Amino acid sequence: MLRFIGVVEQAQERGISQIRIYDEFREGLASLDTFSHVIILYWLHLRDTEGDRGVRKVIPMGRAGAPLVGVFTSRSPSRPNPIGLCVVELVRMEGNRLSVRGLDAREGSPIIDIKPYIPRIDAVPDASVPHWARHGPDS
């Protein structure tokens, strides 16, 4: 069973978002502030509809010239399980509140999990992507 551990309380004010982790999970934040970046997994609550969950093909981010691809080939918020993932800079941690830079979640988005960003594991410098995914807005 999926359990939400917190919520986005304020999204992108001057590039900084505020996340509140529920008190019962506060202990799990111990030493998180020793990392400069973390991975936030969140529920795309505004896309949790029958229609959005039924999407199977998309034009990624509506990019001009991008091909129609399978939903799993994109970062579309419309997907069978509306889970978002974002690498963010951990600006500040005070108790059970995190200030992060770069979060693309909306206010009210439930937080599913937090993981430390570890470059030797999470970065793949020589990864290949199709031409349409190399340029344009962040996805």
Could you read off the pLDDT tens digit of each residue along the chain, which spans 139 residues? Answer: 999 999 999 988 789 999 999 999 999 999 999 999 999 999 999 999 999 999 999 998 777 788 999 999 999 999 999 999 999 999 999 999 999 999 999 999 999 999 999 999 999 999 999 888 876 655 4
- Predicted local confidence at residue 136, as pLDDT: 60
Closest CA to 21 of 76, 90, 81: 90
79 DSSP assignment: S
pTM: 0.91
Domain locations in the chain as residue ranges: 6-118
- Predicted local confidence at residue 138, as pLDDT: 57
CATH code reported for the domain at 6-118: 2.40.30.70
Q: Element (H or E) spanning 122, and its range?
A: helix 119-122
Q: CB–CB of 11/107 below 8 Å?
A: yes
